[in-house]
Structures are given as C-alpha cells and as structure tokens.
Chain A
Amino acid sequence: MGLVPLLLPFYWMLVTSLKPKREVFTATPQWLPTHPAWDNYLLAWTAEPFARFFFNSIVVTALIVTLQLILASLAAFALSRFEFQGRRVIFWIIVAALIVPVQITFIANFMTLAHLGWLNTYAALVAPYAASAFGTFLLRQAFAAVPRQLEDAARLDGCSGLAFLWHVLLPLSRPTVLAFALVAVVAHWNDYFWPLIVTNNNAVRTLPIGLGMFVGQEVTTDWNLLMAASLFVSAPMLLLFFLMQRYFVQSMLRTGIRG
C-alpha cells in the first residue's frame, strides 16, 4: 500500500512524458501510451535553450563542489591535526553556519553581489557556496579518526604538511569524501533558490531555472513536454543516485549516528 503514493508519481511522470498530445487529457487515464511519442523529448529539449542550461549547471556544480572539497579539506586538516589558539571557537563558528541558510541571507547577499557587479555571472552562483560548513565538519570527523602514529611514521618518511593531507588523510577518508561530494553535487545541481535570485539571463541560467520557466509557460497545456523536461533535468541525479546509492546511504549513516 505504501508503495502506491511513492511509485505512482514516478510512473505517471514517465508515462505522461511519452504520450502524444491527444492522450494527455482523457476521461479515464491512459495507463500506457498507445504510441510512445519519443520526440516529446526533442520538442521539450528545444523549447528552451536547455543545452545551454545543462552546460551552465555542469560548470556551476563542478566549480562549487571542487571549491568546497578543497576549502573543507584544508579547514578540516587544521581543525583535526593541529593544536592552536582558538581552535574550539573557530570550530563552532564554522558549525554554527549550518543554521543560517541562504533563504535567510539572500537579500543581503544579493545587495553585496549587485554592488560587486557580479549579478548574472558564474561567480555570483558559486561564491556564496565556495565553503561548506557541513563538508568541513564531516571531513574533520574523518581526519580525526586517523591515528597519530600514522602521522609520525609519515613524517619520518618526509611526508608532512599538505603532502600528508594529500597522500595520507584524503585517501584514508575516501568514503567520507565521496559521500560528501555526492550530497553536494545533488544539492547544487537541484538548487533553484539561489540561481533564481542572481540570474535573469539565459547565458548563465541553470537547469532548474530553465525548467521553472518552462513550468510557468507550459502549465495547463503541454503536460507531456513538461514531464519530459522534468525527467531529463532529474535524470543525471537519478542515475548518479542509483549507481552510487551505497555511498549516499553511508553519508547518512555518518551524519545520522552523531545525533
């Protein structure tokens, strides 16, 4: 029983996306399209500059996740393997950022970026997300679990500082790094809110914004095309999720257990 509300929407999305126009509105729902209209996907793809949006989404997501991994690795390295003044305070300053989402700060951040003349640039889409409190926290936990003796042994072999981070800490924390990267990719590929605030130009718009524009235009008419577009916008994340589901679950285990 519980499966119907879960699975029916996915099924209905797929079936609608393959229906010719005259089979979309029928007195009794058509549970299978009689002649799958594969060209719906092509029609939807060309209804908006989706190729451009796709490209933008890839660039923006890749930039954000790469920056987050680099910055979080460095910060987590400092927090887990060094003794220094203010370590606890700095740790809490970083973690506290988790309770200040962009849905609260967006007005101020919009003003800042407008002031810098960055609106409608990749920089505006990426900069506020370049650091990740969540990623820093996860990596710190993983790095802290690497035993001290290993660090001493590495130092004797002449491997210290950033070389130790790169050759020992990161490889040993692979599952955490991967799990965090996956969650970050999904979050930023799907992000609708922030790109909506800082873009109004197709040259930098991302897929969710393109799909959102399509929703605004196509509602009440071409549901088959809208469902096709929704599917190709979701497809990369669904694919990633089904291929890597083990790591998604692992990341949840890691964050969940902590309480």
Chain B
Amino acid sequence: MAAARPYLYLAPTLAVLAAFTYFPIARLAEMSLHAPGAGTSLGPWTGLSAYAKLFANPLFWRVLGQTLLFVSASVPVAMALALGLALLLDQPLRGVGVFRVLYYTPVVMPTVAVAALALWMFNANGGIVDYLLRSFGLAPVPWLVSDKWALPTLVLIAIWKNVGYYMIIYLAGLQSLPRAVLDAARLDGARPLVRFFTITLPLLRPTTFFIAVVALIGSFQVFDFVNLMTQGGPSNATNVLVYFAYQHGFEYLQLGMAAAISLIMFALVLTLLGLAAWAFNR
C-alpha cells in the first residue's frame, strides 16, 4: 500500500499529459495517414499521400521557409538585444529596478492587445509609425500590406513582446556569475570588451542555451499575430506552419493534411533542439 503512494500522487499529472500531450502525437500520425472529414470518424486510409501532396506543393515549402525565416530573424536579434539590456541593467545604478519592470511589461500583455495596438500603430491610414518616419524625412513603409514588409513587421512585433522575458533570464544568469573571476579580470586590467568576450559570454553559456531553447520553441509557435494581423497574407507572405495547419484543419477541413503539417513541424523543432544541444555541449 505504502509503496503505491508515489504512483498515486503522480497518476493525475501523468494521465493529463498522456491524454493531451503524448497520445495526441500518435493520434496525429494516425490522422495523417487517413483522410478524416469534419465528423469524428478517422475516414479512409490514404497512406503517405498527405505527405506526398505537401512535399509537391510549392506553398508548403514557402510556408516552411517563412517559418524558419521568422525564427532565425526573431530569435538571435531578440537574444542579442536582451543580453545588451541585461548588461546595462546589471549595473548597480539608481532606478535600474524600474527599467527592469518596464522592459518586462510587454511580456505580461495579451498577444491580442499587442496585435490590436500594432495594427493601429503600423496602419497605412493614420498610423503613428509612418508619421514618425515622415517627420524624420524618411519615406513611409507599407508595413503590413506589402509582401516584402509584412513578415519583418511581425518579427519586429514579436521581438518587442518577448525581449523582456529573455532579458530577465539573462539578468538572472549575470547575477549568478562568480564575482571573484570578474573582479580578478578587472584587476588584471583587461578591457571591458575583452572581458565580455573572454569571460562573461563563455560563463553565460548555460543561460544562453536555456534562452535559445525557450525562444526556439516559442517562436515556432507563432500564430496569434498572424491570425489577428495578416491572416497569413498578403498572398501568403506571412503564412507560417501553425497557421498553415490551422487553415487546413479549420478552413479547408483537411484534418489529415493538418495533422501531417503539425507532425512535420514537431520533427523540425526536435531536430533544431537536437542541433542546439549538440552545438552547445560540444
């Protein structure tokens, strides 16, 4: 009886994770090999045809590329900015606490509110961003209406929303560094830039890895801004994998295709995480 207790305590958590996290992966695989309709039945067996269709569809490759572009543009920039801010806000200056709080504020905002605000600020008709550009003598930019600018605009908004989160984690990392090592380097007369690249940055490696993993997983999930601001447009210029799967599932009612897209995305995330782990542990 006593031996069963820990299993009893773990059972509810394991049951929920099994039902809504692990079982669904198998279920996705099963669905992707069938053609489930709008109902609840699995539909006829279709083999690998959903995958074959996807791989033959140029739009799929474009969406995949755009997702990778979104990830590879937003993650490094946000992380570099976050590290810069963390270094600034690690100084024992007055008022630093206020700035830490301010930079974290966008993180607690609902994505929907941020999307509404961004739609207004980047609006082609009366948007404040274009006004500011013009007042500096620059040409206004067709932010969300041009297929060249729409994705970079979403990247910009995602960075604004997330940078405070990475900054706080970097701050935590900085504050756990061994002071003695940093002080010794300072006494040896190493210049700040040299100190940063030879001591601080290498010591921050575990923190950088942790943030990279969190940011990678998070940015692959981008959906809210796309659905609320561009619906994947103009002409699919901001379509990304989660949105593409959502479209197939809930607009075209091709749940088998949607499942295949989700699984491919999962495989991609796992591969990239594996690569990141390998690169950081080398």
Contact = CB atoms under 8 A, between A and B. Distances in A.
B173 A257 contact: yes
A97 B21 contact: yes
A114 to B, nearest CB: 5
Given A82-B5, A215-B115, A230-B117, A237 B31 contact: no
| Interface of chain B: mostly helix, strand, loop or mixed | helix
Nearest to B243: A103
Interface residues of B, number: 85
Interface string B15-45: 1110111111101100100001000100000
A136 B86 CA distance: 28
Contacts of A98: 217
Interface in B77-130: 85, 100-106, 108-113, 115-121, 123, 125-126, 128
B224 interface: yes
A126 B24 CA distance: 17
Contact of B20 (A79, A109, A215, A230): A109
| Interface of chain A: mostly helix, strand, loop or mixed | helix
Interface residues of A, number: 92
Contacts of A63: none
Q: Looking at A7, A111, A234, A238, which has the most chain B CB atoms within 10 Å of its CB?
A: A111
B120 A227 contact: yes
B110 A107 contact: no
Nearest to A186: B108
B9 interface: yes
A62 interface: no
B13 A101 contact: no
Interface stretch (B55-63, B192-200, B254-262): B254-262
A78 interface: yes
Given A2-B85, A106-B262, A112-B19, 8 more contacts: A3-B102, A104-B28, A107-B28, A111-B36, A192-B110, A197-B250, A238-B108, A241-B104
Interface of A: 2-3, 5-10, 12-13, 16, 24-26, 28-29, 71-72, 74-75, 77-79, 82, 84, 87, 90, 93-94, 97-112, 114-115, 127-128, 130-131, 133, 136, 161, 186, 189-190, 192-193, 196-197, 207-208, 211-212, 214-215, 219-220, 223, 226-227, 229-231, 233-234, 237-238, 240-242, 245, 248-249, 252-253, 255-259
Interface of B: 3, 5-7, 9-10, 12-17, 19-25, 27-28, 31, 36, 40, 85, 100-106, 108-113, 115-121, 123, 125-126, 128, 131, 160, 165, 168-173, 175-176, 206-207, 209-210, 217, 220-221, 223-224, 227-228, 242, 245-246, 249-250, 255, 258-259, 262, 265-266, 269-270, 273
19 contacts: A9-B117, A25-B126, A93-B14, A100-B21, A100-B22, A103-B220, A106-B246, A107-B245, A107-B259, A136-B13, A208-B111, A215-B116, A226-B120, A227-B120, A230-B112, A231-B113, A233-B112, A245-B104, A256-B207
